[in-house]
């Protein structure tokens, strides 16, 4: 039978040894090893001693039990203290266990609302088999106008509307400018690839415009181009109608109004009428709103890139995602999208990646 004195002695020795060992440790790994040595549930010295309590006379147990607990507390505190001594301050702060403390504020970026709209539109066309491409924002008269069947005496090519650049460079065969639409990407793609072509080209375009609620000198456009054998006006209408229904919902109506662009023939302006649901559940139709310019690619354009215009046909469209974002989010002034006021932009933030 064990006597209580020998257990008390062993406890004292254990206490002294453990505190000494903990004091000299300088690595968290070593500290953990000590914790297991002394406090480990199975083989830990303290647990082993605790088990010996059962061999004592029951009258002696409470006093020794209290002593075991005292030593246990002391070792535990020493381990804890040493641990915080070895742990960098910021890790200690993170391990504070008061879950009611407010979280740490982090600045988090978000995807710009216009880019969110571009992404949504891209996802739809991607599903229809389009490839996403981009062209240069600094381009020249050939790509921006002439190759697109637009003579330089056309009003759009006027210095009043187009921002010409004063950078004489051998890179440009004709006058360099900031592209005034994304249509030059049509030419660049057709120059480099043979049909079939199905591309979507989002990007910024520039015009000599004064800012107001509906105009900004820099804005985004999304160009689309489809060229292959046997592409008809029906493909054109069906593709754009499918896009409108996927973007605004299955009840969206679409109409094509005759229009004119030098690079498409026939040309159309495309309007949509959205089905809106009111708060009380009743459905109303929106007004017709114009979402894009479009048309069947003019044979002259196909010839300008060396395509056989007898063999290939196609359609093109250009839309303004900023305008579409205005409608989608009920924003009344286009300039808000470009002023980068974070109080405005944060409303469109959807989380760490959007
Ligand atoms: N580029 C035209 C514009 O900026 C839009 C358009 C694109 C029209 C393609 C027809 C075909 O207004």
| Protein residues with CB under 6 Å of any ligand 1 atom | 181, 183, 261, 264, 293-295, 316-318
Take atom 4 of ligand 1 and give the residue whose Cα is closest.
Answer: 181
Distance 307 CA to ligand 1 centre (A): 20
In terms of phi and psi (left: phi > 0; alpha: psi -120 to 50; beta: otherwise), the region of 245 is alpha
In whole angstroms, give the CA distance from residue 26 to residue 85. 9
| Bridge partner list, 219 | 205
Span 138-158, average pLDDT: 93
pLDDT at 153 over 80: yes
Look at the block and give the residue holding tokens 């660049």.
Answer: 188
Taking the centre of ligand 1 as the mean of its atom positions, its distance from the CA of residue 331, in whole angstroms, is 24
The domains located in the chain, with CATH, are 4-93 (no CATH), 113-348 (3.30.930.10)
State CA 297 to chain mean position distance. Answer: 34
Interval 8-41: pLDDT, tens: 888 899 999 999 999 998 888 889 999 999 988 8
The mean per-residue pLDDT over the stretch 190-219 comes to: 95
Nearest atom in ligand 1 to the alpha carbon of residue 293 is: 8
The preferred substitution site among 204, 263, 268, 320 for testing ligand 1, maximizing ligand atoms within 8 Å of CB, is 263
Q: How far is the CA of 317 from the centre of ligand 1 (A)?
A: 6
Instruction: Classify 329 as helix, strand or coil.
Output: helix
Centre of ligand 1 from the C-alpha of residue 268, in Å: 10
Ligand 1, atom 7: nearest CA belongs to which residue?
Answer: 318
Quick: pLDDT tens for 92-133. Answer: 566 667 778 787 777 777 899 999 999 999 999 999 999 999
**pLDDT, tens digit, 9 for 90 and up, residues 260-271:** 999 999 999 999
Model confidence over 255-304: pLDDT tens digits? 999 999 999 999 999 999 999 999 999 999 999 999 999 999 999 999 99
- Tell me the per-residue pLDDT of 310-354, one tens digit each, with 9 for 90 and over: 999 999 999 999 999 998 998 999 999 999 898 899 888 866 554
Centre of ligand 1 to C-alpha 328, Å, is: 21
Q: What is the mean pLDDT of residues 86-97?
A: 67
| 0.85 exceeded by pTM | no
Note whether 239 and 316 are within 8 A (CB): no
């Amino acid at each position: 039978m064990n006597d209580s004195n020998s257990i008390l002695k062993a406890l004292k020795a254990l206490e002294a040894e453990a505190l000494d060992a903990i004091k000299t440790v300088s690595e968290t790994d070593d500290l953990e090893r000590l914790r297991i040595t002394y406090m480990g549930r199975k083989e830990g010295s303290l647990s082993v001693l605790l088990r010996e309590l059962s061999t004592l006379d029951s009258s002696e147990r409470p006093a020794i039990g209290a002593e075991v607990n005292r030593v246990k507390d002391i070792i535990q505190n020493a381990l804890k203290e040493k641990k915080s001594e070895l742990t960098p301050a910021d890790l200690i702060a993170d391990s504070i266990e008061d879950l009611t403390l407010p979280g740490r504020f982090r600045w988090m970026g978000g995807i710009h609302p216009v880019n969110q709209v571009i992404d949504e539109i891209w996802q739809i066309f991607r599903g229809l088999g389009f490839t996403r491409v981009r062209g240069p924002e600094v381009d020249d008269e050939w790509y921006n106008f002439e190759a697109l069947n637009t003579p330089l005496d056309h009003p759009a090519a006027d210095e009043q509307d187009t921002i010409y650049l004063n950078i004489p460079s051998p890179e440009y065969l004709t006058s360099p400018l900031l592209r005034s639409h994304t249509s030059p990407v049509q030419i660049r793609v057709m120059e480099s690839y043979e049909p079939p072509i199905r591309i979507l080209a989002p990007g910024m375009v520039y015009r000599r415009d004064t800012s107001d609620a509906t105009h900004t000198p820099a804005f985004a456009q999304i160009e689309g181009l489809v060229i292959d054998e046997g592409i008809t006006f029906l493909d054109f209408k069906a593709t754009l109608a499918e896009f409108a229904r996927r973007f605004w919902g299955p009840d969206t109506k679409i109409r094509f109004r005759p229009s004119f662009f030098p690079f498409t023939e026939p040309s159309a302006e495309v309007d949509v009428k959205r089905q809106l649901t009111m708060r009380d559940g009743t459905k109303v139709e929106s007004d017709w709103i114009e979402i894009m310019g479009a048309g069947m690619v003019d044979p002259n354009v196909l010839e300008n890139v060396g395509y056989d215009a007898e063999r290939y046909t196609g359609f093109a469209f250009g839309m303004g995602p900023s305008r579409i974002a205005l409608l989608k989010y009920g924003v009344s002034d286009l300039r808000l999208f470009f002023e980068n006021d974070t109080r405005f932009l944060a409303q469109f933030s959807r989380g760490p990646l959007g």
